[in-house]
Structure 1
Amino acid sequence: MMRTRPLKVALLGCGVVGSEVARIMTTHADDLAARIGAPVELAGVAVRRPAKVREGIDPSLVTTDATALVKRGDIDVVVEVIGGIEPARSLITAAFEHGASVVSANKALLAQDGAALHAAAEEHGRDLYYEAAVAGAIPLIRPLRESLAGDKVNRVLGIVNGTTNFILDKMDSTGAGYQEALDEATALGYAEADPTADVEGFDAAAKAAILAGIAFHTRVRLDDVHREGMTEVTAADFRSAKEMGCTIKLLAICERSADGTAVTARVHPAMIPLSHPLASVRGAYNAVFVESDAAGQLMFYGPGAGGSPTASAVLGDLVAVCRNRLNGATGPGESAYADLTVSPMGEVVTRYHISLDVADKPGVLAQVATVFAEHGVSIDTVRQQSRNPGSGDTVAIEQGGGGPREGGEASLVVVTHRAFDASLSGTVEALRKLDTVRGVASIMRVEGE
C-alpha cells in the first residue's frame, strides 16, 4: 500500500540540471510515487537569484537561505546540484546532521572529500548517492558498486567528458585544428565560455578519482590522479594516429597493477586503435569500458552531460534513496576495505608515440636509439620524413636500419613497446639534450591494445 504522507525533497540549485529535476518531479509525479511507494513533494528550492522566473516552480518554494532549508528537520532528501566545494560541502553535512539523505551531482566535491562525506552519512544513518557525478545519464556507479560487487574489476577506461570528445572528434573527422574545433564547440553550446575545466582534464580527473575508488574499493582523491589536458593535440598528431590505424581520445584510465597490490588513475590524450569500441564514440557522447575477471569486457555508452540526461540520473538516485527511506534502510556506502596503494604515474606501463624534430644527417638515428636503450625503453618502429628544401620524400626506417640524408631537418617518429612512464620521461629528457634533436614535437601514449 502507498504511504500517504509525501517524502519531502529540498533542491539546492535550479540551473540547467536543477530545473529539469524539478520539472520531471512535477510531470512524472504519479509514476515516481508508484515506483517509490509514496508521493514525493518538492518542499523548497535554494537559489542565488530569487527574482528569476522559473517556469513550473511555485515561487513560494524559492529561497536564498539554503542552510535554513536543509536544517528544517522535515526534509527527507536533499538534492544538491549547485556544484563546487563550498557551500555544497557544508550544506550536505548539515543535511545529514538534520536527518536528510543526499543525492548529489558534485564530482569535484566527491573527488576531493568523498571519504569525509561518506563518513558523515554513515554516522547519521543516511544515504549519499551520486550517479550523476560521473557520466550524466549513463548508469555506471550503480553497476560498479552493486551489479559487479561479486566480481574483480581490473581496469576502467573511458571517455567521460563530452566537450573534449566533440573537439577531438571534429579534429579527426575534418582535419580542423584545436582552436577551430573549440570555437565550433563553443558556438554549439558544448563548451563553456571558459573551457579550462574540460580541455585541461580537471573534470575528467575528478570523475576518474570517483570511478577508481568504487572500482577498486580504495580511497582515491583528486590529487592522486595524473592529469594532462588536450590543448597541445595537433592535426599532425591525428595524421600520425591514422597512419597507425588509431584515433585520439582524452581518456580517464583507472587500473589495478598486475600483482593486484596497487592502482593508478590518470587522464590524458591517447591514441587508441580504430578497432577499439571507444574509437567509435562520436560527438559529445561518453562511454566507459570496464574489464573484470568474471564479466569480462563491458561498455557503458550514452549522453554524458546536459540538463535532461543528468536529471535522469539524479531522479534515479532519488527513487532509490526514497525507497530506502521508506524501508528504514540505507544503500551501499563507501567501500574502501581493499586500501590498495595508489601508485604514481611513473609506475604506469604503456606504449608511446614520440615525434622528434632532428638534424637530417647520418648517425642521428643511432644516437636516438642509444638513448632509448640506455633508459630501458624498447623501440617497436621508427618512421622518418625528410624536410630538406625541395624534398617531400618520406623514408621508412626499420629498427637498426640506415640513417637520414645529410643536410636540413627531418621529423622522426618513434613508437615504443610497453615501458614504464618514468623510463619514457627519462628518455625524453635525455633526447632534449642531444645536439641533433631540435625539439620534441609530440609525446602520445598508445592505449587500448
Structure 2
Amino acid sequence: MMTVVYHIFTVATATLPAIWSPAIAFIAFTIQAKIQHSNLLSTEQAFTSLALISLVTIPAESFMVAIPHAGACLGCFTRIQDYLRLPCRTDRRGGPLPPPDKALPSATRSLHDVELEGLTSKPSILHAENVICLKNVTVCPAPATSPVLNNITLTIAPSSLVMIVGPVGSGKTTLIKAILGELPCESGLITVTPAPLAYCHQKPWLTNTSILQSICGLHGDQAVDERWYKAVVYACCLEEDIKLWPDGSHTIIGNNGLMLSGGQRQRLALARAIYARRNVLLLDDVFNALDAATMDTIFTRLWGKQGLLRKLNSTVVLVTHSTKHVHLADKLVVLDKGRIVQDGSGDAIGSGAEALRDIMLEPQQLLEKETQSPREAKELFGLQTNEQDLARRTGDIEVYKYYANSIGWKYTALFVIANIGYAFAVAFPRE
C-alpha cells in the first residue's frame, strides 16, 4: 500500500505543476481582479506569465520525474552488488572423463549418415557403466527449506531412454536440475560422466531470430548441416509448420517465440537440443503442450525401432506427465512425494497401467474423475470459453465495458473526470 501511495505522490508532484499551473495562475489573477476591481489580464501579461511559469515548472517537472528513476537505479545497483558478492558456484557432481575419441560429432561438423532412413547404429559413446548415478541424494530447492527429493538412488545407463513420471510437485524438475548441477545436494552423491549435454526446459527460452538460427544456433559464417537439419525437423514434426510460414525456415519467431504457439515453441526447443548432437539429453516435460497425435508421431520418430535418437545411441532422461509411451522406455522411474516408488523397465511397470495413472493424478483430480459427468464438464468448458471470448474482444464498446466492470464504476468515473481535467489544463494555455 505504501508503494502505491508513493508512486501516486511522485507522479502527482511531477506532473500537476506543469499541467495546472497556468490555469490556476490565470484563474487566481481573474478572481483577484474582480475582487479589487482592477484591470483584467492583458495579452502582454498573459504571455509573460506563461513564460515565467514554464521556466519554473518544466525544470521542476524534470527533477521530480528523475527522483524515482534515481531511486530505482540505486536499487538495481544494490541487487547487482548482492549478486556479485554471492559465493562462487561449486559443481559438486563428479565422475570420470570419457575418452576424447568417443564423443559424438559436433553440430558444426558434417555427418553423412544422419538421415532418419539411412542412419546406422553406433556403439555407445561413453565407456562408463552408468552415465549418471545418484546415491542417497537429498535435495532442497533453497536454503532453509524442506527437502523436495529424499534419499534418491538412481542409475542411468548409456544409450538408454529413462522416463521419469509422477504427479505435480513430486520432484521431477528438481531431479533434472540436480543432475544439471543447478541445485546442490544436502546429502548423498551425484556422479555425472562429463560428456556433452543438452537440456530442454518445459518453458523454453527462445531468441528473436529465425527458425533456422533458433535450431542451429548459427553465428557468423557457420554453415548449416542441411541433411542433419532436415532429419531433426522431420523428427520433431516441424516440416508442415515451416511450409505454412511465409518465409519458411527464415521466419522470425519474435521475442521468446511470440509468433509461435505453445506446442510449436516446445517442438522448436526440442529440435534445438537434438540438433546439437549431445551425448546426453535432459528433457523436462517438453510434450505437455502437444496434442496426442503429434506426441505419438514424435515419440515414434525419436524412440521407435528406427528412431533418430535410438540410431545415435543417445542417453535421454525424459520427465513427462504422460504414461502413454512408457513401453518405449528402457527404464521407468515413478516419483511421488519426493521418493522413488517404482523403478524398473517400462514394460514391467506399464503392465499396471491403471495404478500408474492413479499415481499421476492429484487427489482432487481423482475425485473429479469419479464424480464429474460429461454434461458438467461440457458446461464448464462452455463457460470458460465465453469468458475467454469476452476478454479477447477488441475494437468496440464491449472492451471498455469489460475494463469498467473489472475496476468498478466509481474508479471509472474518477478516471474519466481526471482525463477531462487533463485535457482542459493542457489546452488552456493555447487558447
TM-score band (shorter)? Answer: under 0.3
Query: Larger Rg: 1 or 2?
Result: 2
Higher helix share: 2
Q: TM-score, normalised by structure 2?
A: 0.23
Structure number with greater CO (CA < 8 Å, separation at least 6) is 2
Structure with greater strand percent:
1
TM-score normalised to the size of structure 1?
0.22
